[in-house]
Amino acid sequence: MPAFTASAPGKIILFGEHAVVYGQPAIAVPVMQVRARATITPNIRGNSGAVRILAPDIGLDKMLDELDSAHALAAAIEGVAKLLGVTHIPACTLKVSSSIPVASGLGSGAAVSVAVIRALAGYLGKPLPNEQVSALAYEVEKIHHGTPSGIDNTVVTYAQPVYFKKKLPSPAGRGVGGEGIIETFHIAKPFTIIIGDTGIGSPTKTTVDDVRRGWQSEPARYERLFAAIGSITRAARQAIEGGYPGRLGPLMNENHELLGEMGVSSPELERLVQAARAAGALGAKLSGGGGGGNIIALAEAENSETIAAALSAAGAARAIMTRVGDRT
């Protein structure tokens, strides 16, 4: 068998984080400047089923059978094998690398899962359609996040801007499940987003669980917050499809304030948000789970370098510029 490589991009949520877990829409876009890659090479002399896993970024070098079945990489591999009806994987080495910061809100876990799933299915000569790749990645996401929204695996798999709304099976199942209504949509006019990374890891599961506990203790208050974020997200889609990206700035600011009311911001995130706004950003907000991770800022193209420099001066570990809607 020849070697096989697959990759997947990072992602950012523009609008709707946390509320999306409870049935409100969210908008997310791929970040092509950062990627996860998985390469599988055959071990000709190895025994069938002997899979070596190398992940230098996290210092991992183990055989598959040495990993707990709940380990994300093991879950991805075993999920593919089960779906394809493969009982013995030909001896091989799986090498995983990623330029996506871990626990930063950029979808690192989902990107690694998607890359591994695609690489293994391709290596076995049975490539999977996007729907199955996304479904398998969602199952792995449960290990990372407990009750994931499904948006990370969706936007990373399809590598397109996505308007996503989670299906809620019943009122008693709020925040549970992974099937969703997925819509790609037209971006009438590309726009520039600056991503400011705090450099502080904040596993999404932690803040998702915090919000869930808040919702359970104060359901009416949290439902109001979720509904308000849903209205903002729908307005943002209208602005994007209508070719008025400048309208996203005030919507970002409003969305950020609502997330702050949920308690998922932090001093580091607030410092970066304020620095971006002071440098001329049209709007700025935290993106992803919060607690740490990233902020995003809407920028005029000619002012993007200034905003990126301001974020670095305010303590950002790095600033990433991405154009949303460019077909490059």
Percent of the chain with pLDDT over 70: 93
Copy the structure tokens of residue 293: 């991770």
Going by pLDDT thresholds of 50, 70 and 90, the confidence category of residue 168 is low
d(CA 326, CA 313): 28
User: 36 near 22, Cβ under 8 Å?
Assistant: no
Specify the 3-state DSSP secondary structure of 44: coil
- Please write the tens of the pLDDT for every residue from 30-54: 999 899 999 999 987 766 668 999 9
How much is the pLDDT for 167?
A: 74
- Confidence check: pLDDT of 102 > 60: yes
Sheet holding 294-299, edge to edge: 283-287, 294-299, 191-197, 318-324
- Please write the tens of the pLDDT for every residue from 264-291: 999 999 999 999 999 999 999 999 889 8
Phi, psi of 321 (to 5 degrees): -100, 130
How much is the pLDDT for 120?
A: 97
- Which conformational region is residue 202 in: left (phi greater than 0), alpha (psi within -120 to 50 degrees), or beta? beta
* DSSP secondary structure letter of residue 292: S
- Please write the tens of the pLDDT for every residue from 200-234: 987 777 888 999 999 999 999 999 999 999 999 99
What is the set of active-site residues? Answer: 152
Pairing of strands 92-98, 51-55: parallel
3-state secondary structure 83-136: HHCCCCCCCEEEEEEECCCCCCCCCHHHHHHHHHHHHHHHHCCCCCCHHHHHHH
User: 107 near 100, Cβ under 8 Å?
Assistant: yes
- Confidence check: pLDDT of 183 > 60: yes
Domain boundaries, the chain: 4-173, 187-324
pTM: 0.82
- Confidence check: pLDDT of 155 > 80: yes
- Range 130-158 burial, b when 16+ CB lie within 10 A, else e: eebbbbbbbebbebbbbbbbbbbbbbbbb
C-alpha dihedral sign at 215, 216, 217, 221: positive
CATH class held by domain 4-173: alpha beta
The fold of 187-324 is Alpha-Beta Plaits (3.30.70)
Name, in order, each residue with C-beta under 8 angstroms of 39's C-beta and a sequence gap of 6 or more.
Answer: 3, 4, 5, 94, 95, 119
Task: Answer with the residue of higher pLDDT: 287 or 143.
Answer: 287
